[in-house]
Amino acid sequence: MPSRPPRPAPPASAPTLAEDSLAYTFVTTARLIAEVVAGGTLTEALSALWSARPATPPGVRGAILDLAYGSLRDYGRQDFILGKLLQKPLPEPVQSLLRVALHRLDSRADTAHTIVDQAVTAAATLLGGKFKGVVNGVLRNALRQSADLNRAADADMVAEFRHPPWWIRRLRSQYPDHWRAILAAGNTHPPMALRINRRRASAREVLAAFAAAELPVRELNNGALLLDRPVPVARVPGFAEGLVSVQDAGAQYAARYLDLVDGQRVLDACAAPGGKTSHILETADVALTALDTDAFRARRVSENLERLGLTAEVKTADCRVLSRWWDGRPFDRILADVPCSASGVVRRNPDIKWLRRSDDVARFAAQQAEILDALWQVLAPGGKMLYVTCSVFAEENREQIAAFATRHSDCCRLPIAGQPDCQYLPSTEHDGFFYALLEKAA
Report how far apart the first and last C-alpha atoms of the chain are (Å, whole number): 50
- Residue 193 near residue 225, CB atoms below 8 Å: yes
pLDDT > 80? residue 5: no
pLDDT > 60? residue 198: yes
Is residue 15 reached through a cis peptide bond, with omega within 30 degrees of 0 on the bond before it? no
DSSP per-residue letters across 73-142: HTHHHHHHHHHHH-SSPPPTTHHHHHHHHHHHHHH-GGGHHHHHHHHHHHHTTSGGGTTHHHHHHHHHHH
Average pLDDT over residues 154-162: 97
Helices (H), 194-294: 203-212, 254-257, 275-283
Across the chain, mean pLDDT equals: 95
Of 312, 307, 186, the residue nearest 236 (C-alpha): 307
DSSP per-residue letters across 18-69: -TTSHHHHHHHHHHHHHHHHTT--HHHHHHHHHHH-TT--HHHHHHHHHHHH
- Residue 408 near residue 376, CB atoms below 8 Å: yes
Give CA–CA dist 319/325, Å, rounded.
Answer: 8
Give CA–CA dist 233/225, Å, rounded.
Answer: 14
CB-neighbour burial class of residue 344 (10 A; exposed 0-12, middle 13-18, buried 19+):
buried
Q: What is the pLDDT of residues 243-300, one digit of tens each?
A: 999 999 999 999 999 999 999 999 999 999 999 999 999 999 999 999 999 999 999 9
E strand map for 259-330: 265-268, 287-292, 313-316
CB-neighbour burial class of residue 262 (10 A; exposed 0-12, middle 13-18, buried 19+):
exposed
pLDDT > 90? residue 410: yes
Of 390, 370, 383, the residue nearest 414 (C-alpha): 383
- Domains assigned to the chain: 22-162 (1.10.940.10), 193-246 (3.30.70.1170), 250-440 (3.40.50.150)
Read off the pLDDT band of 10 (50, 70, 90). Answer: very low
Q: What is the pLDDT of residues 363-399, one digit of tens each?
A: 999 999 999 999 999 999 999 999 999 999 999 999 9
Q: Does residue 1 or residue 344 have the better pLDDT?
A: 344
Q: Give residue 16's pLDDT.
A: 81
Q: What is the pLDDT of residues 23-78, one digit of tens each?
A: 999 999 999 999 999 999 999 999 999 999 999 999 999 999 999 999 999 999 99
* Displacement of CA 301 from its chain's centroid (Å): 17
- Residue 125 near residue 93, CB atoms below 8 Å: no
Of 266, 277, 284, the residue nearest 199 (C-alpha): 284
Q: Give residue 293's pLDDT.
A: 96
Q: Give residue 1's pLDDT.
A: 62
Give CA–CA dist 194/100, Å, rounded.
Answer: 31
Strands 411-414 and 193-196: unpaired
Give CA–CA dist 334/264, Å, rounded.
Answer: 10
- Residue 441 near residue 410, CB atoms below 8 Å: yes
% of the chain at pLDDT higher than 70: 97
Would the pTM of this model clear 0.85, i.e. be above it? Answer: yes
Give CA–CA dist 347/273, Å, rounded.
Answer: 19
Q: Give residue 267's pLDDT.
A: 98
pLDDT > 60? residue 309: yes
Radius of gyration of the chain (CA): 24
pLDDT > 50? residue 122: yes
Q: Give residue 45's pLDDT.
A: 97
Phi and psi angles of residue 17, each rounded to the nearest 5 degrees, phi first? -130, 150
Q: Does residue 12 or residue 226 have the better pLDDT?
A: 226
pLDDT > 80? residue 89: yes
The amino acid at residue 227 is: L
**Which sequence positions are flagged as catalytic?**
390
